[in-house]
Amino acid sequence: MNSTARLIAAVIIGAAGCGDVIAPSRVANVAELTAAATDGSTPMPPATAAEWDGATSLANVPAWAADAVFYQIFPERFRNGDSSNDPTHASLEFAEETPKSWRITPWTADWYARADWERESGENFYENGVFNRRYGGDLQGVLDKLDYLQDLGVNAIYFNPVFYGRSLHKYDGSSLHHIDPHFGPDPAGDFALMAAETSDPASWHWTAADQLFLKLLAEAHSRKIRVIIDGVFNHTGCDFFAFADIVKRREQSPYAEWYIVAHFDDPTTPADEFHYKGWWGNRTLPEFSDNAAGNDLHPGPKAYVLNVTRRWMDPNNDGDPVDGIDGWRLDVADEVPLPFWKEWNAFVRRLNPQAYTVAEFWNDARRLLTEGGFSATMNYHAFAFPVKGFLIDGRMSAHDFGRELQLRREAYPTAMQFAQQNLIDSHDTERVASMIVNRPFEQHYRNADRFDYDEGGVVSPRYNPSYAVRPPTEQERRLQRMIVLLQMTYVGAPMVYYGDEAGMWGGDDPCDRAPMTWEDLQFCVQSHDPLGRPREAVAVAFDHELHDFYRSAIALRNNEPALRRGSWSPVASVDDAKFFAFRRSLAGRSLLVAFNRGAETFQWVLPSQVGKNAKIIFATDQTITLEDGEPAGPPTAHLPAFSGVVVAE
């Protein structure tokens, strides 16, 4: 957002003191805002987004994406459905540095309480132990909860990496052609099968974990739930078979050119001269090489990635993708050569013309998506950032909020706008509940362009000693409900991060990756603090009321085609009251969606064309009312502080 931009605010009729109800106002519509901009201010463009059916189709954007409601699952922390496959000490990423007293952490333990083995590692919560915790989440746990997801109303799952890796997050892949054995029923048997495999697909087996994943796909598809998985094609872990072979055989390895090696080790000296490029300098994440021209992956890893892609998209290799995944989320997509993505996306669409590919990129992704052939991006830039500025922080004006939503969205082709993955939090950020708890009031932003969204020194007690680890208050939950309503009514595919609907809170990694709070489990009271600060003990339990709200909001989207495929147009903004409204329309059905981010009740006179048959079909607060207007006038909506409403015209 341009911090120097001047704002247009609709005038509130009548003055309101502290604690007063804002008097009914006729809010300026977009045409009036545009016409009124004679003082150098920047008006909201009067454009209206096209309907999905009116959009120019794109081969890389599947039609189902417009109807998707995604649910993100971090496998190790979602559900332990099979304790017999739990990780072992030997399976840890840094096993040699972890005390032998290490044990699986109980699922229901106080997140901030430290086990004996953690204290043996050191006194710092963040540096000594928490990243070596394992809770035993697995594929059986997901299978056991598919009915829960179906009941919630989601119809697409995004999995963080399911492939074999030593870390808790699996972005350090040891294999991309196998599911992590500890996610399946027979780790020992799987490792035995994997031992002699090479980059040749003819050497690859289908392990027990692989087969369980295929079963999960079939079970999800039977519930009309699509599945996309994380693809990490920029780097691997050090145990990846090709890199491990380089460590062993150095220049003689057939994989010697797969990685960016500056110098191989000389075995005749006691020193370790092996130097290679790790992702962002991280030696545990060696990067794949590019080709000689620097415009593609090296032919070796490229061929491997294409074979992996085919394996998971058409497992039985019969030309019918029905048994495979429905798409990919591509990690650090901007760090892989763009021509590779163009070719890879074309290959994906040959395997499955209805595949969905979403790129991880935190800024304006227009060039990456259009030239790389992706379906969408994780919509941090055009959704999460403005939502943080307006609905969470209340530091962005209502007018600028609507303007930024519109301008950033309209930078993409119309069909792509309906496929954008509209998230507010993820495994890479603090949870939305904690964003709200820790929203700034008077503090200056470190990164004003992002409203300190995921700003490293701000979003966790690890680097910010004033960061609160408490759950939200009821008023703060009101803000969360507004955000959910926006996700479910805006253009693009909403995504819910696991546990948000259950009431979970937590700062940035690792605290955003706590075990899922399940209804059937009794959790310990949370009384410890990561920094040893005094705190009030709080209960940790499944939040039924919040879950029911998410379920209802998702049902609203699923039941209203206008919210999924309809046109979008801004209707009203009132800067002083922090009020914003827009319209979604399709095939004669028109819905008004309005938000009062202000701390006072707001009375909104609906647009003049709205008749007396208008009715509320959804609200974040059951005290919201709609009253008939004067004989010739439109109705008036009464919105309490921090509330949102959907009105059918």
- 496-555 per-position pLDDT tens digit: 999 999 999 999 999 999 999 999 999 999 999 999 999 999 999 999 999 999 999 999
- Reported confidence tier of residue 637, pLDDT bands at 50, 70, 90: very high
Number of domains present in the structure of the chain:
2
In a domain, 143, yes or no: yes
* Domain end among 534, 555, 576: 555
d(CA 516, CA 543): 12
Q: Does one domain contain both 270 and 302?
A: no
pLDDT, tens only, 402-422: 999 999 999 999 999 999 999
Handedness of CA 321, 323, 325, 326 (dihedral sign): positive
Instruction: Evaluate whether 494 touches 424 at the Cβ level (below 8 Å).
Output: no
pLDDT score recorded for residue 6: 23
CATH number of the domain to which 106 belongs = 3.20.20.80
Q: Is the pLDDT of residue 377 over 60?
A: yes
In a domain, 315, yes or no: yes
638 membership: H or E segment, kind and range? strand 636-639
| Lowest model confidence (mean pLDDT) among 290-299, 389-398, 446-455, 607-616 | 607-616
- Reported confidence tier of residue 35, pLDDT bands at 50, 70, 90: very low
* Domain end among 491, 521, 555: 555
Q: Is the pLDDT of residue 273 over 70?
A: yes
d(CA 162, CA 87): 14
Three-state DSSP state, 358: strand
Q: Does one domain contain both 302 and 276?
A: no
Q: Does one domain contain both 253 and 312?
A: no
Q: Does one domain contain both 184 and 206?
A: yes
In a domain, 587, yes or no: no
Q: Does one domain contain both 157 and 189?
A: yes
pLDDT score recorded for residue 85: 98
Q: Does one domain contain both 146 and 187?
A: yes
The mean pLDDT value of the chain amounts to: 92
Q: Is the pLDDT of residue 107 over 70?
A: yes
Q: 17-25: long-range contacts (C-beta < 8 A, 24 or more apart)?
A: 19/600, 20/600, 21/600, 21/601, 21/603, 22/577, 22/598, 22/600, 22/601, 22/602, 22/603, 23/603, 24/603, 24/604, 24/605, 24/636, 25/574, 25/603, 25/604, 25/605
Structural domain containing residue 321: 68-233+298-370+414-427+453-555
In a domain, 126, yes or no: yes
In a domain, 378, yes or no: no
Q: Does one domain contain both 160 and 267?
A: no
CA gyration radius, the chain: 26
Q: Does one domain contain both 223 and 149?
A: yes
Mean pLDDT of 289-310: 98
Q: Does one domain contain both 134 and 273?
A: no
d(CA 242, CA 246): 6
| Amino acid identity at 400 | D
pLDDT, tens only, 327-342: 999 999 999 999 999 9
Q: Does one domain contain both 226 and 193?
A: yes
| Lowest model confidence (mean pLDDT) among 139-148, 213-222, 623-632 | 623-632
316 membership: H or E segment, kind and range? none
Q: Is the pLDDT of residue 66 over 80?
A: yes
Q: Does one domain contain both 79 and 109?
A: yes
Q: Does one domain contain both 228 and 302?
A: yes
* Domain end among 221, 256, 281: 281
In a domain, 332, yes or no: yes
In a domain, 314, yes or no: yes
In a domain, 139, yes or no: yes
